[in-house]
Amino acid sequence: MVKIGVAGKGGTGKTTLASLILLSLLRMKQKPILAVDADPNSNFAENLGIKSPRSVVEIVTEIEKIKNNLPYGIEKAQYLEIKIQEAIKEEEGFDLLVMGRTEGPGCYCYANNLLREWMSKLEINYKFVVMDNEAGMEHMARRTSGDLDILFIVSLCDKVSLRTAESIYKMINSLQLNIKKVYLVLNEFLYKKNLDNLNFPVPIIFKLPFDEEIYKLSEENKGILNLPEDSIAYIVVSEFIKKLILERNL
C-alpha cells in the first residue's frame, strides 16, 4: 500500500492535484484506491464531480446527540464503526471518506482521532491512499495525515505561498513525522516565473501548468474524472505517477 498526501496553503490547487493523482492511478488500473478528504472545507468530491458522502464529523455529532439512546445492545464505539462504514462512498475503482467540518467553534480533536484510527484500519484494504489535507499547517501539528510514503506540498509561484510551503516542511521535521518523501509542486495557474534556482529545502518535482481543460470542466460544473487524456496538467501528473509505479514495481 502506498499512501500519498497533498498539503499547502489554501487556494494553491492542492485539491486539483489530489484529483489528478487519483485520476492517473485509476487510468493506470492501480486499484482499489481510498480517497480521503481530510480538509474541513471539503471539496474533493465536488472536484471529482461526484456527490459527497456523509462526513465523519456529521456522524460523530449525530451520535453525541443520541449517545444515551443508542440501539439496545450496541456500544458507542461499535455504533460509530457501523455508521462510518456506511459513510464510505463507493465509486468505480475507488472509495471516498470525508472528514467534514464542525458547526461553530468546536474542536476537531475527536474527529481527527477517529480519522487516524479508521485510516489505519481501512488503508490495508487498498493499493493506494490519496489524501487531500487541510489547508495550512494545523493538520501536521495534529498528525491527521499519519504516516505517508509521499507528501506533495503545493505552492503558487509567490512569496506568501512559498513561505507557507517552507513552514509546512519545517514543521514536518520538527515533529519528526514519518513521511518518507517530500516534494514541492509549483502551480503556475496565476504566475509563470523561472524558479529553477529557487532556494527551497526540497526538490521541485514538477510544475503544474495552467490547463484550459480543467478550467472548462469547472465552468461546466463537471469533475476532473471527465478530463481528457491530452490535458496538459494530467500528462504532467500521470508521468510522475507512472514513474512512481515503475520504481516500486507495482
pLDDT (tens digit per residue) in 195-219: 555 667 777 888 899 899 998 998 8
Evaluate the omega torsion of the peptide bond into residue 53 and state whether it is cis, within 30 degrees of 0: no
Mean per-residue pLDDT, 206-235 = 92
Helix pair 109-122, 56-65: axis angle to 10 deg: 120
pLDDT (tens digit per residue) in 126-184: 999 999 988 655 555 455 556 889 999 999 888 888 888 888 888 888 877 888 899 99
- Domains of the chain: which residue ranges? 2-247
Cα 112 from chain centroid (whole Å): 14
Q: Is the pLDDT of residue 106 over 70?
A: no
CA–CA dist 243, 246 (Å, integer): 5
Cell of 178: 514519518
Amino acid at 174: S
Q: Is the pLDDT of residue 239 over 80?
A: yes
Cell of 248: 516500486
pLDDT (tens digit per residue) in 44-89: 999 999 999 988 888 888 887 887 888 888 887 788 888 888 889 9
Give the CATH H-level superfamily of domain 2-247: P-loop containing nucleotide triphosphate hydrolases (3.40.50.300)
Contact 40, 133 (CB under 8 A): no
